[in-house]
């Protein structure tokens, strides 16, 4: 019989949770579970999703031991995997991260630029506390983290827990892109063998091999140049996401070498994007009025009806599938390829060893074994070094409580550049984040 595992899902009340629960059901023969616990600091939100989960599991996973809790001992004891997706400050703070910078003349975005900086400064505290709580109770558990901004969280955790080899940071955007390539090329994305380098939300696919070793990237780029780019799940996406994917065609026209991550649009076209963003109605508003309402309503309906048959709770199954498949690869030493964050250590030859890069890696029971990509061209090296300097200074600003480093970080960010703007944004964000940030002196 296959080994059965215990998993805790941190951020149980997230709108992404139902998708993950469905993925656990769908993949239960591949990653069998003994126990699943949902944990959240917000008990009200979590109860809605947790009660939905009870109905779902009664239908699809009756043998599973399931609870949801706000008790850390129940959540973190005797665990094999921690799936972590917390959002410190919730969507209310995401809205501020997006609106405050926009009101001061720079990009406001969840993970990029000044918004991502503010979110990073909030996430570091809670993520460090989480790892400490987990390690006190489950020293051997794998912590699979996709808390954002993942680049900053990964660097901060690496600084604070350098010996801990069982923390793995991952993002679903490379998978979303691979699925989108699959749709455009009319191929199964599971057959792709990608080469990718960069930082989180700041990377490029250089090659996309098929199962015979033939590189599909030239064909894909030609397709995008002629027809534009759209997400695999375009029919389920809000307008802002369709615009975001469409920007890939612009980036490829200007910089045809590699296939860019969608997030690069904010760094390459900050003025254009700024002009397009509405400071009174940002992505946070779109999410609060859309996905947030829909997911919670659907969960309540399922509970009232005592069945999940009539509800549709999953808005993007790539995310849930990816995280469950990652755990499966670790659990059963599958040596399957994923794009993950790791310390560089020569993998990109002309970047510093301590840069937290995002690369393709084989994943097995000892974690990632990443593939090196050699030297990268000057343009990409320059962009990455500037962006990583911003990320590293953000992390140091947090650890040292340094206002100067925070200002340096924001000044280096390509979405800001001007130090006077950086100071105005920083001061406004300090005011808005008093509850969450260390004091910056």
Catalytic center residues = 172, 263
Among 71, 111, 128, 146, which Cα is nearest to 327's?
A: 146
Angle at 183 between CA 181 and CA 187, to 5 degrees: 85
- Cα(399)–Cα(396) distance, rounded to whole angstroms? 5
Among 64, 75, 171, 342, binds ligand G6P (CB under 6 A): 171
321 binds ligand G6P (CB under 6 A): no
The position carrying tokens 């954002």 is 148
Q: Does 319 belong to an annotated binding site?
A: no
Among 48, 56, 167, 287, binds ligand G6P (CB under 6 A): 287
Give whichever of 15 and 344 is closer to ligand G6P, judged by the CB atom: 15
323 binds ligand G6P (CB under 6 A): no
Question: Binders of ligand G6P among 104-143, rule CB under 6 A?
Answer: 110-111
- Cα(271)–Cα(268) distance, rounded to whole angstroms? 9
Residue 321 binds which entry of ligand G6P, Mn ion, none, with Cβ cut-offs from 5 to 8 Å by kind?
none
Query: Is residue 117 reached through a cis peptide bond, with omega within 30 degrees of 0 on the bond before it?
Result: no
313 binds ligand G6P (CB under 6 A): no
Among 232, 248, 246, 226, which Cα is nearest to 184's?
A: 232
Q: What is the DSSP letter of 370?
A: E
What is the contact mask toward ligand G6P in residues 72 to 111, using x (rule: CB under 6 A)? --------------------------------------xx
**Total number of residues binding ligand G6P (CB under 6 A)?**
8
Residue 46 binds which entry of Mn ion, ligand G6P, none, with Cβ cut-offs from 5 to 8 Å by kind?
none
- Cα(320)–Cα(28) distance, rounded to whole angstroms? 13
Q: Does 42 belong to an annotated binding site?
A: no
Q: What is the DSSP letter of 351?
A: S
**And the tokens for 238?**
């809000």
SS3 337: strand
Among 135, 8, 116, which Cα is nearest to 65's?
A: 8
283 binds ligand G6P (CB under 6 A): yes
357 binds ligand G6P (CB under 6 A): no
SS3 3: coil
| CB closest to Mn ion, residue no | 171
Q: How far is the CB of 333 from Mn ion (least distance, A)?
A: 26
173 binds ligand G6P (CB under 6 A): yes
Residues belonging to the binding site are: 94, 148, 171, 201, 283
Q: Which residues bind ligand G6P (CB under 6 A)?
A: 110-111, 148, 171-173, 283, 287
């Amino acid at each position: 019989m296959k080994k059965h595992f215990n998993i805790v899902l941190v951020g149980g009340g997230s709108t992404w949770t139902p998708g993950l629960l469905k993925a656990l059901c769908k993949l239960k023969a591949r990653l069998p579970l003994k126990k699943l616990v949902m944990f959240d600091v917000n008990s009200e939100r979590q109860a809605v999703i947790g009660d939905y989960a009870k109905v779902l599991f009664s239908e699809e996973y009756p043998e599973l031991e399931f609870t949801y809790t706000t008790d850390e001992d129940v959540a973190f004891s005797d665990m094999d995997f921690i799936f972590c997706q917390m959002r410190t400050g919730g969507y209310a703070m995401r809205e501020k991260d997006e609106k405050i910078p926009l009101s001061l003349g720079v990009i406001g975005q969840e993970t990029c630029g000044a918004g991502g900086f503010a979110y990073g400064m909030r996430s570091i505290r809670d993520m460090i506390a989480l790892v400490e709580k987990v390690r006190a109770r489950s020293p051997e558990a794998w912590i699979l983290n996709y808390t954002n901004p993942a680049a900053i969280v990964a660097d901060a955790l690496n600084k604070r827990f350098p010996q801990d080899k069982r923390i793995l940071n991952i993002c679903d955007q490379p998978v979303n892109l691979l699925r989108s390539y699959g749709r455009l090329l009319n191929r199964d994305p599971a057959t792709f063998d990608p080469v990718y380098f960069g930082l989180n939300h700041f990377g490029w696919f250089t090659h996309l091999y098929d199962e015979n070793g033939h590189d599909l990237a030239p064909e894909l780029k030609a397709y995008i140049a002629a027809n534009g780019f759209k997400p695999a799940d375009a029919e389920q996406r809000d307008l802002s996401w369709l615009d975001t994917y469409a920007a890939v065609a612009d980036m490829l026209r200007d910089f045809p070498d590699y296939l860019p991550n969608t997030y690069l649009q904010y760094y390459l076209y900050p003025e254009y994007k700024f002009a397009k963003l509405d400071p009174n109605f940002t992505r946070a508003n779109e999410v609060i009025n859309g996905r947030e309402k829909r997911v919670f309503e659907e969960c309540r309906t399922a509970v009232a009806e005592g069945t999940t048959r009539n509800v549709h709770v999953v808005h993007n199954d790539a995310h849930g599938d990816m995280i469950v498949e990652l755990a499966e690869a670790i659990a059963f030493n599958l040596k399957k390829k994923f794009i993950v964050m790791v310390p560089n250590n020569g993998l990109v030859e002309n970047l510093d060893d301590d840069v937290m890069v995002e690369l393709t890696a084989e994943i097995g029971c000892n974690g990632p074994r990443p593939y090196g990509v050699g030297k990268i061209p000057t343009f990409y090296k320059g962009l990455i070094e500037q962006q990583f300097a911003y990320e590293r200074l953000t992390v140091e600003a947090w650890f040292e409580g340094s206002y100067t480093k925070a200002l340096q970080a924001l000044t280096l960010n390509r979405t800001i550049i001007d130090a006077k703007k950086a100071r105005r944004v920083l001061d406004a964000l300090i005011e808005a984040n008093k509850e969450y940030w260390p004091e910056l002196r």
